[in-house]
Amino acid sequence: MKRRLLLLGTLLVSVVFVSAQVSVTVDPRSEKGTISPYIYGQFIEHLGRCIYGGLWAEMLEDRKFYYPVADQYAPWGTASDAQWKAGEFKHLAASPWRVIGNPGSVSMDRKAPYTGAHTPVATVSANQPAGIGQPMLTIEKGRQYQGYVALRGENFKGKITGRVVSPDGKTLFETDFNFITEKYVTYTFSFTAKSSAEPAELQITGNGNGRFWIGTVSLMPADNLKGWRRDVVALLKELNAPVYRWPGGNFVSGYNWRDGIGPRDLRPPRKNPAWTGIEPNDVGIHEYMELMEMIGAEPFIAVNTGLGTVQEVAEEVQYCNGPADSPQGVLRAQNGHPEPYRVKWWAVVNEMYGNWQLGHMPLSEYIKKHNRVAETMRAVDPTICLIGVGSTGEWSRTMLKECSDYMELLSEHIYSKDLPDVTAHTRQLAGQIRRKAAEHRKYMQEIPGVAPKNIRIAMDEWNYWYGDYRYGELGVRYHLKDALGVATGLHEFFRNNDVYFMANYAQTVNVIGCIKTTPTTAFWDATGLPLKLYRKEFGTIPVSATGETGNLDLFAAKTADGKAVTLAVVNPTGTAVTLKLQLKNGKLPRKAAGWIIAGDDPEMYNSEKDQENLTIRKQTAQKLPEGITIPAWSISVYKITL
What is the per-residue pLDDT across 158-179, written as a single tens digit (0 to 9) for each?
Answer: 999 999 999 999 999 999 998 8
pLDDT at 1: 32
Distance CA 562, CA 568 (A): 17
pLDDT at 518 over 90: yes
User: Please, how many CA atoms are within 13 Å of residue 184, restricted to the half-sphere of its CB?
Assistant: 17
> How far separated are the first and last CA of the chain, in Å rounded?
44
Mean pLDDT of 443-460: 96
- Specify whether the CB–CB gap between 585 and 522 falls below 8 A: no
Three-class DSSP category at 197 = strand
pLDDT at 384 over 80: yes
pLDDT at 621: 84
pLDDT at 84 over 90: no
User: What confidence category does residue 585 fall into, taking pLDDT thresholds of 50, 70 and 90?
Assistant: confident
Distance CA 388, CA 411 (A): 6
pLDDT at 10 over 80: no
351 is catalytic: yes
Task: Give the relative orientation of helices 428-446 and 394-403 as an angle to the nearest 10 degrees.
Answer: 40
What is the per-residue pLDDT across 304-339, written as a single tens digit (0 to 9) for each?
Answer: 999 999 999 999 999 999 999 999 999 999 999 999
Per annotation, catalytic residue among 201, 351, 439, 492: 351
Global pTM reads: 0.94
pLDDT at 548: 86
Among candidate residues 445, 422, 463, the one with its CA nearest the CA of residue 571: 422
User: What confidence category does residue 131 fall into, taking pLDDT thresholds of 50, 70 and 90?
Assistant: very high
pLDDT at 468: 93
CB atoms within 10 A of CB 539: 24
What is the per-residue pLDDT across 48-79, written as a single tens digit (0 to 9) for each?
Answer: 999 999 999 999 999 999 999 999 999 999 98
CB atoms within 10 A of CB 168: 6
Mean of the per-residue pLDDT values for the chain?
94
| pLDDT-above-90 percentage for the chain | 90
Contacts of residue 442, defined as CB under 8 A and 6 or more positions apart, other chains included, come to none
Structural domains of the chain in order of their starting residue, each with its CATH number:
21-34+540-641 (2.60.40.1180), 39-57+224-230+244-515 (3.20.20.80), 76-221 (2.60.120.260)
Give the H or E element holding residue 41. strand 41-43
User: What confidence category does residue 7 fall into, taking pLDDT thresholds of 50, 70 and 90?
Assistant: very low
pLDDT at 554: 97
pLDDT at 624: 86
pLDDT at 87 over 90: no
pLDDT at 413 over 90: yes
pLDDT at 46: 98
Among candidate residues 604, 493, 577, 633, the one with its CA nearest the CA of residue 38: 493
pLDDT at 514 over 60: yes
SS3 string of 133-173? EEEEEEECCCCEEEEEEEEEEEEEEEEEEEEEECCCCCEEE
Distance CA 257, CA 111 (A): 26
Mean pLDDT of 474-495: 98
pLDDT at 391 over 90: yes
pLDDT at 380: 98
pLDDT at 9: 31
Among candidate residues 426, 445, 433, 429, the one with its CA nearest the CA of residue 392: 433
Per annotation, catalytic residue among 461, 473, 492, 537: 461
